[in-house]
Structure 1
Amino acid sequence: MLAAKGETPAAAVEARGGLGTAKALSALKENDEITLSYQEALYAVKARKNLRYHFLYLPFPIAFFLVFAATALTHVPVEVMFPTENGLATTLVSTGTFKNIQTRADVFPWLTKTLFPALFVTTDYNGNNLTSDRHSRIVEVHKLLGAVEITTTSAEETDCGLEGPLGVIYKPCHDYDNPTINVPIYIDSNADAATAIATIVEKQASGTWITPATTSLVINIATYNGEVDLMCITTLQVEFQIGGFVATKYKMASIPAGTSIATAAYWGIWRVVEWGALAAVLAYYVFWAIVCDGIYDTTLSSQLTALEVSGTIDFSKAQESTDEGKMLLTHVMERYRSMGDLMVAIRLAAMVALFLLTIRILGSFRFHPRLNMVTATLGASLHSLGPFFFVFVVCLAAFVVSGCLLFGEKLLAFSTIGHATVTVVDMLFGQFDLAAIFDVDYHVALVWYWCAMIVLFLVLFNMLLAIVLAAFDTVREEKAGPTRSVTEEFSIIAKELIGVEHFWHHDAPKRFRQSVRDGNLQRFNSNTLSEHLHIGKDEAKGLIHNMKVLSAGADLDKSKPKDDKSVERLHDRIDALERAIASLVQQLQLPPMKME
């Protein structure tokens, strides 16, 4: 068929394309001979060894991370700690008026009407008397241990150091920086609410327990929950600060009572990470062993028995008969508090260990440019992030200090440098109560807020993003090379490890590698491999394809130039030297000048 008038031959071919062109391309693809150079074959043999090592090593840091994460969650049973601590916090902290204490006088109604009725429980919600073994159970499951310890601290009176009329108007002052601890009060765990309330009413009537000199009130409550085998030490603290502000704080530490102890080259950054992870894991188990030693200590068990089971100590009796019991309870409370601090240390050690193990896993990805892209980008951006971080800290400090000066007298979020730092950082991530600073001074707050957002967020945060993206582009250019596929490389190595090449391909890849090492093969195409290895042509093509995939990763240990500008400068110097030589040659070829 001839082309239509005015139609070019190429257009005619394209017009007849359709199915005929597709068949032609398919036939061309089928008949195309896949070849492999000898250098590519050597690269494939080398890369296969390296990839085999890396893919075999990769599961170990991942498995170590998973095993440690599982053991950490076993030793720190968060799934039972959460309802336990929140159940206590709901009853002792959220319910009633603990968070609403604003003056020293508010302490007494909170103790008598909220706290003690929740601690010293002797009746159910219908008013029926409970059996003795169910007395003093907070929310029916948390049994009080020993006694409730109530301690106050006081500031000694001191001269205000004021002269003139002000010294006459206001005196005396108090030394808030050096408070003294007063004699604690102990209320027996077997007491009823009426007895405990009577003790506080008597203290209130005396007028000497909580006075203007009182700086803090600390209540320590030790409990045990047999349902989940968990002990808990709760500290309720009321601080009477120097300016009249009352701060309420609470701290809870849970200690599993039925613990179990599980048996769990050259220096460089990745070696430091690896050994740091092991050190963090070791620290985790050291702290855990100390806690276990405290839990299973026979002395602690006998002390708890003396406090709760034997009935030899009654804190409701006269002062003389309970001195030994108070010393014993104080010792037990100190043990619980120390174990609570150790539980915090255990969690911190677990966090550090998991973080370092995660970095270790990322470090094991370095063998592959696609898997190593994130780690390499962060490493390449470090030299630029250092100066940027310094500038960011300076700007952040300016807005933190200015925020303290502008809003610190009215808002808790800006009352200290630490609070202000957290507040400004939260503001950058959108977690900020803008209405609070507007209530202080609308116009000043508006100017301060927008200046902070423009400088810290719009400018510096975008600069941070630009630095990381520039580092990413640099890493991508440095790692530009043969296209590599993680899945194909892993599939080839995995098939070799599970024996596919032995049972399915009759060790054809192994015989190919041996032939390359011995130099028996110089031409690598499907026909040559099919004859030499006694395999089918399609299988030979697949083998060549696999070798090409492996050869792309043969530059694993090759160092690449970090800066192409040095090469450009070398070329410029060579060009300048060539021009100088050419100029010298021209001068030598000039005829000599005649002397007159």
Structure 2
Amino acid sequence: MEKPLDDAYIQMDEGKLDRRSAQEAIHPGGHDTAAAADTEIPRNLDAPAPYPLEVSMEDACDSISQDRKIGRALVRLVSTVIFCCFAAVALSRRPRTTLQWKQVLAVSSVLATKGDKTVTADSPIDFFNIGNVDDVYDWLTDTLVPSIFITEDINDVLLPTDERGRVANLNKVLGGVIIDVTRKSVGPCNPNDVVVALYPNCGDADSTTLERSFLDINLNATEAAAAIVELKANGKGIDYYTEKLVATVATYNSEFQGYSLTTLKLKFQESGYIKPTSATNSARATPYQWKDATADAIYVLAYIAWLVVIFYWGTERKTKHLTPKPRTDTGSSARRLFRNLWRACVLGGSVPVFAALWAVLECKVNADAFRSNLQKLADNNWESDEEALAILLPVVDLLDSLTDWTYALALVGAIVAIQLGLYTLFQLSFHPQLSIFTRTMSSALRQFAAFFVVWLIAFGIFVCVGSILFGSDVEEFSTRLRTMQACINMLFGTFDYDSIKDLQFAFIYYWCFMVVVSLVLLNLMLAIVLDAYDEVRKESYKGKASLMLDGRINGFCLDTYHRKKYARCSQANAKPRDDDLEAADVFERLGADASKLTNDYVVLRGKIDPWLLLQVVQAKMDQEGLAARRRTSNTQPPSKLTMTALVEMFPAANLTRRQLRATFKYLHEGLLINKSAIKKRKMLDEEQAKADEEERGDHSNDDDDGRSSFLTPSEATLSEAARVVALERKLDRLLAEVLSTRAAIREAMAA
């Protein structure tokens, strides 16, 4: 049973370290904690501290740097959430809206009719009920023409010219209806066929001709039907060698300023089956307005501000203690710039792509040629069908391209949402509990590689078997793609078993799939995810370092809320003397003299304000480094933070022993968090190195398989031992090089 976290938490690092080992882990070589206690400080607590009451200044800065990392992570998270709100508003205004979907529904329900109602000799045939060539003509004259060429209202009153030709009441047909008939050329069938005399002529799909007809919107229903009959009589209609028929209708709805383009296609397949398909797409026609420009400018500024926060203010930068500034290299600067550009493309590169696509759509809709053709269609004064087609075809082509651009815009908008959503999830990685989803998926994906291969093989086998067994009898298995969809439906329980229950082997196939794929493999996948989740959950909610980090994050938020501005302390407003370089540096950092700050400004939630302590310690280290380099002092200041040193830093605060101990507890807690992070990173590196070593060993064994097959067990053991000895020697050489380099750096700094 695990012990609760209290002041003695440092005595049990992962439940194994005692007090002395914990001190040695934080301060190699050990320190005398008794010497750290100052007899001049009043003893408010007589109990011995379970952690050293001293810490090096470097370790103190590293410990408080946890707060800097937490702060930057919170800034990145909050800025990303705010920008996601802006992006959500922009995405909701740009792609297809609900009104466009309703326009598509209204137009398609009138033109592309379908239904299972009872059909009589007098009822018009629906588009999706077309079964033969005669049905095509009946649909054109009895269904399509009356739906478009409307000249009278429900009371048989003649409509005004501007109200004629409206589909679904409010969608005005532009120009008329374009009917394209693609006809295959007729040629002899295969002469080697024994039944060539029964079927001498066939259609050649590689050699086709296009015959285009136009039905003017100025015609009434009777005249339009007569025009179709005339096409049939002139041989320009449909026959047995027709490949496809396409009827195109473009409409405009001024109620919400939107275009629609409906394409009704009849595909005459080689088997004799006529396959009807329809597509109705909508595009907004709203002209670009200045109020839109203002909103777009706000989105652009929000995007730029977000990038600045992510790549500059929200990025962790190393603190300059005593490290000399490296020389800038042009090549490294170029690489850094390229790396930042690549990060921008990965994180939010789809946002400018989305804006560019929207700009293309606006330019196309507001093009002069397009609006000029619309004006000509509105004038309705062409003299021939050829002239009308010359005006209408560019409009149809542009509306068709708008459909493609609109789909591309919707796709990029979806990518924007996915990118921002994933980045928001990854921004939660600093929190041990909030990052449980991403860490679970990351852990599970490492085990998914082998399992996914097995799952694909099993799934592919059932797809092939289903297509072979039922492809000629059931539409759901007629192609590989449809069979895959049917198998996915079976996997999630949405497949209609009645469609195959009367077929041979259907029972065996269905239950084999359910047992192997749905019950066994799917549950194995869930087991992998649950195992990864259990591992992450134990680390997140029971790991001592994770609990410490969780408390530190909460404490950072409270510290930020309760922190006071140091410049408001009236006793610390006076600027220190110029000869006191350390105090002047602190005053420049804080805007106040730290030595004169009162207890209300120094102590924050029972401990010394970490941000204040960091600034004072950094100033002290900088001055210490300058003194060492300039050789202005033979005696060096103390390089450790003790209770006495803290009291000397803030003499006006009258710090109590409880506050000092809480400060040291806070510092040592940060060191333990850093140590845990380093330990985890080291374990990951060791696992990766082990995997790489095993892979190299496998390759070497494969290359030398003939020789290794004759090795005895003792020889194999000796070769493995030799490899281990070689690795140990290599590590020793690397360690010696590191130590020599470190000594050289110290000598250079001392000089």
- 1:174 corresponds in structure 2 to 203
Partner residue in 1 for 2:101: 82
How much has 1:99 moved relative to structure 2? 1.6
The match for 2:345 is 275
2:363 corresponds, among 270, 289, 293, to 293
CA contact (8 A) 1:146 1:304 kept: no
Measured after TM superposition, the shift of residue 538 of structure 1 is 9.1
In the alignment, the residues of structure 1 paired with residue 655 and residue 170 of structure 2 have an alpha-carbon distance, to the nearest angstrom, of 74
CA distance in 2, matches of 1:297, 1:392: 52
Deviation at 1:175, TM superposition (A): 2.3
Name the structure 1 match of 2:156.
127
When residues 324 and 32 of structure 1 are mapped into structure 2, their CA distance, relative to the original with a 3 A threshold, is farther
The aligned amino acid for 1:237 is K
Instruction: Indicate the residue corresponding to 2:75 in structure 1.
Output: 56
| Structure 1 position 362 matched with structure 2 position 425 | yes
TM-superposed deviation, 1:253: 2.1
Shift of 1:549: 7.4
Letter aligned with residue 169 of structure 1 = L
The residue type equivalent to 1:225 in the other structure is N
The more displaced of 282-291 and 229-238 is 282-291
Aligned residues: 532
* Contact 2:211-2:236 at 8 Å conserved across structures: no
Q: 1:267-416 counterparts in 2 under 5 A?
A: 274-308=344-378, 310-313=379-382, 321-416=384-479
Q: Which residue number corresponds to residue 13 of structure 2?
A: none
1:305 Cα deviation from its structure 2 partner: 0.8
- The alpha carbon displacement at 1:371 in A equals 2.8
Residue 343 of structure 1 and its aligned partner are, at CA, apart by 0.6
Q: Write the distance in 1 (CA, Å) between the matches of 2:150 and 2:371.
A: 25
Partner amino acid, structure 1, of 2:162: D
Q: Against the structure 1 CA distance between its residues 237 and 539, is the aligned structure 2 distance closer, same or farther, given a 3 Å change threshold?
A: farther
Letter of the 1:232 partner, please give it. S
Could you tell me how far 1:505 is from its partner in structure 2? 4.9
Contact 1:511-1:533 at 8 Å conserved across structures:
no
**Structure 2: 5+ residue stretches without partners:** 1-44, 115-124, 301-334, 567-598, 604-608, 621-638, 691-719, 726-751
Per-residue CA distance 1:441-475 (angstroms, 9 max, x = gap):
0x411111111122221222122223333444555
Is 1:522 matched up with 2:642? Answer: yes
Cα distance in 2 for residues equivalent to 1:385 and 1:452: 21
1:420 equivalent to 2:449? Answer: no
Distance of aligned partners of 1:127 and 1:540 in 2 relative to their CA distance in 1, 3 Å threshold: farther
Q: How many Å separate the matches in 2 of 1:556 and 1:255?
A: 56
1:565 to 1:301, Cα distance in 2 relative to 1, 3 A: closer
Q: Does 1:468 align with 2:468?
A: no
2:549–2:673: 8 Å Cα contact kept in structure 1?
no
TM-score w.r.t. length of structure 1: 0.78
Amino acid of the residue matched to residue 57 of structure 1?
R
Q: Is contact 1:93-1:99 (8 Å) kept? A: yes
Structure 2 counterpart of 1:148: 177
Contact 2:180/2:210 (<8 A) preserved? yes
Q: Which residue of 2 aligns with 1:5?
A: none
- The residue identity in structure 1 corresponding to 2:471 is G
| Cα distance in 1 between the residues matched to 2:641 and 2:651 | 11
**Which one of the candidate residues 210, 216, 239 is aligned to 1:188?**
216
Change (3 A) 1:564 1:393: closer
Q: How far off its partner does 1:209 sit?
A: 0.9
Matched with 2:601 is 506
Question: What is the aligned counterpart of 1:68 among 75, 82, 87?
Answer: 87
User: CA 1:565 to 1:291, structure 2 compared with 1: closer, same or farther past 3 Å?
Assistant: closer
Amino acid at match of 2:82: A
**Aligned-partner SS, 2:505:** helix
| Distance (whole Å) between structure 1 residues aligned to residue 492 and residue 46 of structure 2 | 60
> Unaligned regions of 5+ residues in structure 1, if any?
1-29, 315-320, 578-596
1:167 and 1:478 map into 2 onto residues whose CA distance is: 77
Query: CA 1:492–1:342 in 2, change beyond 3 Å: closer, same or farther?
Result: same
1:496-529 deviation per Cα after TM superposition (whole angstroms, max 9, x unaligned): 44564449953531444456666785359x9999
Query: Does structure 2 retain, via aligned residues, the 8 Å contact 1:46–1:554?
Result: no
In structure 2, C-alpha distance between the alignment counterparts of 1:270 and 1:351, rounded to whole Å: 24
Q: Is the contact made by 2:444 and 2:532 (CA closer than 8 Å) also made in structure 1?
A: yes
1:561 partnered with 2:683: yes
Distance 2:687 2:365 in 1: 63
Distance 1:398 1:162, change over 3 A: farther
How far the C-alpha of 1:333 sits from its partner, in A, is: 1.0
Cα distance change on mapping 1:390 and 1:482 into 2, 3 Å: same
Q: Work out which of the residue numbers 194, 201, 211 in structure 1 matches 2:239.
A: 211
Letter in 1 for 2:405: L
Match of 2:513 in 1: 452
Partner of 2:145: 116
After TM superposition, give the deviation of residue 182 of structure 1 in Å.
Answer: 1.9
Amino acid in structure 2 at the alignment position of 1:366: S
Pair 313,476 (structure 1): closer, same or farther in 2 beyond 3 Å = same
Cα distance change of structure 1 residues 43 and 114 upon mapping to structure 2, 3 Å threshold: same
Q: Which amino acid aligns with 1:157?
A: V
Contact 2:250 2:396 in 1 (8 A): yes
SS across alignment from 1:184? strand
Structure 2: which amino acid aligns with 1:284? Answer: F
Whether contact under 8 Å (1:529, 1:540) holds in the other structure is no
Question: TM-score by structure 2 length?
Answer: 0.63
Structure-1 separation of matches of 2:179 and 2:396: 12
| Distance 1:92-1:468 versus aligned 2 partners, 3 A rule | same
Q: 3-state DSSP class of the match of 2:127?
A: coil
Q: CA RMSD in A?
A: 3.8
SS in 1 for 2:172: strand
Change (3 A) 1:253 1:81: same
Secondary structure at the residue paired with 2:500? helix
Task: Please list the CA deviations of residues 410-437 of structure 1 after superposition, one character each: whole Å capped at 9, or x if unmatched.
Answer: 2222221122222212221112111111
In structure 1, give the amino acid aligned to 2:142.
Answer: K
Q: Distance in 2 between matches of 1:278 and 1:305?
A: 41
Please tell me whether the aligned partners of residues 350 and 415 of structure 2 are also in contact (alpha carbons under 8 angstroms).
yes
